[in-house]
Structure 1
Amino acid sequence: MSGPSASEARRAASPPDHRSSPDPVPAGAEQGLDPEQLAAVLAPVGPVCILAGAGTGKTRTITHRIAHMVTEREVGAGQILAVTFTNRAAGELRGRLRVMGVDGVQARTFHAAALRQLSYFWPSVAGTALPRLEKSRIPLMAKAANRARLRPDRAELRDLTSEVEWAKATMVAPTDYVRLAAAHGRETSFAPDVVARLYEAYEEVKSEAGVLDFDDLLLLTAAVVEEHGWVATELRARYRHFVVDEYQDVNPLQQRVLDAWLGDRDSLCVVGDANQTIYSFTGASARHLVEFPRRFPAATVVRLVRDYRSTPQVVALANQLLDGAARPAPDTRGASAVQAGPGVPGGAEGRSAAGRLVAMRPSGPEPVWLESDSEPEEAAAVARRIRGLLGTGVPASEIAVLYRINAQSEAYETALGRAEIPYLVRGGEKFFERPEVTGAVRMLRAALRSAETDRPGGLADVVADVLSGLGWRPGAPPAGPGADRERWENLAALHRLAADLEAREPEADLAAFAADLAERAAHQHTPTVQGVTLASLHAAKGLEWDAVFLVGLVDGTLPIVHAQTDEQLAEERRLLYVGVTRARVHLTLSWALARAEGARRSRRPSRFLDEPRRAAAVFRRGSSAARPGSARAEPGTGGNGRARNRSSVLCRVCGRALAGAEARVGRCEACPGGPVDGELFERLRAWRARRAKEQGAPAFVVLTDATLRLIAERRPSTVAELVALPGIGQSKLDRYGEDVLALVTGRPPAGSPSTG
């Protein structure tokens, strides 16, 4: 890290006052920017909050704002630090700015920026080199578990590691963990005091090994800036203007680092969308975004609402999901709020509508509602629809299957494999770490060193010639979706990168390509690989495809079974909203009424789909736009349009049509029922706590609070009555049925000395 140049220092010493006069419009800014985007670009230097809905062009907006600051406001490019949450996003920012002729802006993740700064300042502060960064916490956590005399399995070890990450991200010390974990409602595989002991052992093991983890980078960076005035002075002279992307995902530790960088200045532009807050389990909070105008009363607040990504049909469904959510609106009192554009009225009404998107793309197909009898049938139906999209010319790389939990991928890997459709599981091995890619890069470097002159002239041809040494040939890939196909696709992606570079820079040679690959590998800026993407909804954040399949949409999976509080359910709804807004044109929402083929169809579609499905059905009945022969399945039918024998039972509370287990109970799970036997409910909770402790599992794994409450309401006295309740499947009945029926009748369950 180096300090500012002499010219930058002189400019910083006497910065021009841009706040007292209207800002000049940059040349060409009117083209390609909508009114809200332009307002954000031209906002004065100072606090700016850009509330950017999905697909509204936030990256375009912030890159234009940065370019405008450099070219029109005479801000030194090296004095701007843009912070993102992924290396891919940082790489995209740098690439766009480079195309715009703006070099020198630092665009990094929080951790990358902290590592760079700490590496520079630490030797002077501590008198020694910065300790080594340990990229994986798992080995350290395994040693800590052994020291704490615990024997967690691999899944439990991952969960415990995630819990320690949460504690450090929220700045919770081991001594405070038990109290604050309870306050935050944390649910873990082990008792809170055990987690606290493990957390303390983890810190000891790490200290003895002389290594840092990623959270230590942020903690030490904040501490060094806060405690050493000369460090703060030098750092703040270097970076005077900050841009933070995805600000709704900032956790308390990252906010502390940002505050240390900023000091008492206010040149901070934040970009985010509270409706896409889906990482609260890691400590992320939209509070910093929502309260930004309170912290900076003079802030300019701009709302981007024009969705350029998705068709009106997809946007309408996304808006319906938002309409069903209770969400706080940012308080813009005292702020300079920009309200230009369609769908953004002023005042309180505008604040309530701020999350709604306005579609800018041409009309497209309606979302498809796909219901199946079982998960294997659902996966097969999705594979058939994907085959149909491929047949119409949609590339495999522009299709994604998104699910709530990673365990759901297996059924789709099987179905796509049988259909001979290539696929890639996102979240697996990183592209530049795959054996064929590392081998290809080594061969490219060897070819560069050999300086052979008899290779073909163009860069793409040179790279193809080198890759032929690995058995790769351009043209048709190997048949099927197996390892050979994936290997071919990865090498083809390298070849496409070479062709793209040659198109941008016709004189580019192998040395330029090697440098480009090195930069991409350093920042994990991976190329597009042909194949259908399989990914969790969390992993899909920030990505988009022409066609998206949202699968496994049943209560208990989305929302996930352990989401019980209002805020947890709200986050599950936001997760579905994120999934919907990944689709540009084609959107399919699917679910299965049973897990296995031939099993009892007791599941119900996700409660979040109730209103959108009802609205879709009304639209079809009342609109001439509904075309005969549409591939879209009616709610309550299979993907082939075959009607199900669905129950006509209505909820006794709200009147909604019920299906599956809810039909047998006679009301929606979310609706209030009859009187709950409070004493029975407490007996059930005490019994559940004992069983959970015996199993070493969270309480909700035994039975959820909702199921216990329903048992205390309905007081089942027979196996038939018990199994009719939601949450009591065959496995639960086998393990807990006898105990539950005993508790209902007031008898102690087997193996219990007393029920109290």
Structure 2
Amino acid sequence: MEAVDLTAEQRAIIEADASDLAVSAGAGSGKTRVLVERYVQLLRECSIPQIAAITFTEAAAAEMRDRVRREVMSDPALEQHRALLDEAAIGTVHSLGLRLLREHPVEAGLDPAAAVLADDEAELLRRAACIEAIDAAAEVGGERTRALLGLGVYHAGLQLPRMVAQRDAVGAAFAAMGAYSADWPSYVRATLEAHYEPRQTAIRGQAEEIAWQIRRDAGNVTERLAEVAGAVLQPLTAAREAREWGDFAALLAEARSQTNLQSGGNAPAAVNVKGAMKELRELDDDAGKLPAWNEHDEPALEVLAGLRALFEDSVRRYEAAKQAQNALDYLDLELGAVDLLRDHPAVAAAVRGRFLHLMVDESQDINPVQAELIELIAGGNGDGARPALFLVGDARQSIYRFRGADVHRFPAQQALV
């Protein structure tokens, strides 16, 4: 690839010193090209075994390996690296996990003969395990049967395999809720309130601002518009005193219902009042997207207790099926690598010392387990060498949220650099 084809900004990124670097760029901006060129540039200072590059699909990994190979084979200055091209640690995050586990099988407790299930193979096992759990629940009765009746067998069959695929996160969420379903309403309610409170507070503040705007100009508009303004202000004023979000949202909706006025004149005051009413309608739309605790929630949690039991039985059956085949899925590789580095400081130190550079493509698609693995390798613990971290991503472009990827992880990873 000719350097003349690169923009000045791309060239600066590629030639930056060996410190940590995070690059945020949109689709079509040449992120993969920069990643490859950066990798090749690093080969002028270190060797292939000292660089690990993570992509998020096998196809992307194959493309990057092919591009790196072409660059190395065509550049006489990189001739010394050609014999090691097949050893390049360029692959998905679970392939890196597998590499680490197989390099340290004793510490990881890994059977070297264990097979790795492809995505479709693992999905078939998960579905079979969940069907067995559903069939068993239908026979034994109790909370699991009530969950099936509440959810419907079809929807349970759809959701359970997805939950088992993300069993670490789902299991942690259930564990955080406590052991007894009687405790769950207060937990769920408190969790919802804590999560949505900042947005709820902002909406309350915007509602007060809208009320102030209407009140300021309502005395200078037509009689009909003033009448409508008064009808809007009455529930908006009451909303200020509403302590519960559900009560506030109901009053906001009532205020919004009074704003359907098609006339009122074009005087500045009228324009201001009608503009404030338009903002009120938009604000009510935003408020409607936030959940509010209501009388239907506690009965729903009774179904959740049975769903938890179904989930746990499905996981047990899935783990037994994998054990019978002496097989691991991708999540096992990621969790196993995290446990290996977290529980064996000497291994973690060796890995951090071995890699001089860790490159991560499509960082916005990182899930929490993968983020922890990357941090264990590149974050270090302040008492030794660690690889320089090179992140490439676009927070607006996450495509793997269905796998548990968290778009908010990209800014969190950027904080590492």
TM-score (norm 1): 0.32
Distance 1:221 1:38 in 2: 34
The one-letter amino acid paired with 1:54 is A
The one-letter amino acid paired with 1:275 is R
Aligned to 2:51: 80
Aligned to 1:168: 168
Q: Is the 8 A contact 1:249 1:277 kept in 2?
A: yes
Aligned to 1:436: none
State which of 222, 232, 236 in structure 1 corresponds to 2:348. Answer: 232
Q: Is the 8 A contact 1:250 1:285 kept in 2?
A: yes
State which of 258, 263, 266 in structure 1 corresponds to 2:374. Answer: 258
Aligned to 1:504: none
State which of 304, 328, 332 in structure 2 corresponds to 1:216. Answer: 332
Offset at residue 260 of structure 1 (A)? 2.0
State which of 113, 118, 133 in structure 2 corresponds to 1:144. Answer: 133
The one-letter amino acid paired with 1:66 is Y
Distance 2:19 2:105 in 1: 30
Q: Is the 8 A contact 1:225 1:231 kept in 2?
A: yes
Distance 2:402 2:374 in 1: 21
Change (3 A) 1:235 1:95: same
SS of 1:160's equivalent? helix
Change (3 A) 1:127 1:216: closer
Aligned to 1:512: none
Q: Is the 8 A contact 1:170 1:283 kept in 2?
A: no
SS of 1:97's equivalent? helix
Deviation per residue, 1:424-461 (Å, 9 max, x gap)? xxxxxxxxxxxxxxxxxxxxxxxxxxxxxxxxxxxxxx
Change (3 A) 1:33 1:171: farther
Deviation per residue, 1:675-705 (Å, 9 max, x gap)? xxxxxxxxxxxxxxxxxxxxxxxxxxxxxxx
Distance 1:122 1:138 in 2: 29
State which of 295, 313, 318 in structure 1 corresponds to 2:416. Answer: 295
SS of 1:45's equivalent? coil
Aligned to 2:100: 117
Distance 1:278 1:212 in 2: 24
Q: Is the 8 A contact 2:160 2:314 kept in 1?
A: no
- 2:304 is the counterpart of 1:192: yes
Distance 1:263 1:130 in 2: 31
Distance 1:215 1:198 in 2: 20
Aligned to 1:52: 25
Please give the root-mean-square deviation of Cα atoms over the aligned residues, in Å: 3.3
- 2:65 is the counterpart of 1:94: yes
The one-letter amino acid paired with 1:276 is Q
Q: Percent identity?
A: 28
Aligned to 2:358: 242
Q: Is the 8 A contact 1:147 1:201 kept in 2?
A: no
- 2:322 is the counterpart of 1:206: no
Deviation per residue, 1:572-621 (Å, 9 max, x gap)? xxxxxxxxxxxxxxxxxxxxxxxxxxxxxxxxxxxxxxxxxxxxxxxxxx
Offset at residue 146 of structure 1 (A)? 3.4
Greater fraction helix: 2
Distance 2:379 2:3 in 1: 35
Offset at residue 116 of structure 1 (A)? 2.7
Select the structure with the greater relative contact order (CA < 8 A; seq sep ≥ 6).
2
The one-letter amino acid paired with 1:235 is V
Offset at residue 224 of structure 1 (A)? 1.1
SS of 1:54's equivalent? coil
Offset at residue 158 of structure 1 (A)? 2.9
Offset at residue 248 of structure 1 (A)? 0.6
Aligned to 1:563: none
SS of 2:90's equivalent? strand
SS of 2:406's equivalent? coil
The one-letter amino acid paired with 2:163 is E
Distance 1:154 1:32 in 2: 54
SS of 1:262's equivalent? helix
TM-score (norm 2): 0.56
SS of 2:392's equivalent? strand
Q: Is the 8 A contact 2:352 2:387 kept in 1?
A: no
Distance 2:394 2:154 in 1: 35
Q: Any unmatched runs of 5+ in structure 2?
A: 73-80, 139-144, 178-183, 196-289, 292-296, 381-385
Deviation per residue, 1:276-317 (Å, 9 max, x gap)? 124444432222322444433xxxxxxxxxxxxxxxxxxxxx
Aligned to 1:286: 407
The one-letter amino acid paired with 1:261 is I
Change (3 A) 1:180 1:294: farther
Distance 1:57 1:235 in 2: 30
Distance 2:316 2:358 in 1: 35
Aligned to 2:12: 39
Deviation per residue, 1:313-339 (Å, 9 max, x gap)? xxxxxxxxxxxxxxxxxxxxxxxxxxx
Change (3 A) 1:143 1:113: farther
Offset at residue 67 of structure 1 (A)? 0.2
Change (3 A) 1:107 1:128: closer
The one-letter amino acid paired with 2:334 is L
Deviation per residue, 1:614-649 (Å, 9 max, x gap)? xxxxxxxxxxxxxxxxxxxxxxxxxxxxxxxxxxxx
Q: Any unmatched runs of 5+ in structure 1?
A: 1-27, 297-756
Deviation per residue, 1:105-130 (Å, 9 max, x gap)? 31111112212322332345427446
Distance 1:270 1:245 in 2: 6
Distance 2:163 2:170 in 1: 11
Q: Is the 8 A contact 1:174 1:199 kept in 2?
A: no
The one-letter amino acid paired with 1:214 is Y
Query: How many residue pairs were aligned?
Result: 267
SS of 1:31's equivalent? helix
Distance 1:170 1:245 in 2: 26
Matching of residues 449-460 of structure 1 within 5 Å: none
Change (3 A) 1:192 1:240: farther
Distance 1:239 1:261 in 2: 9
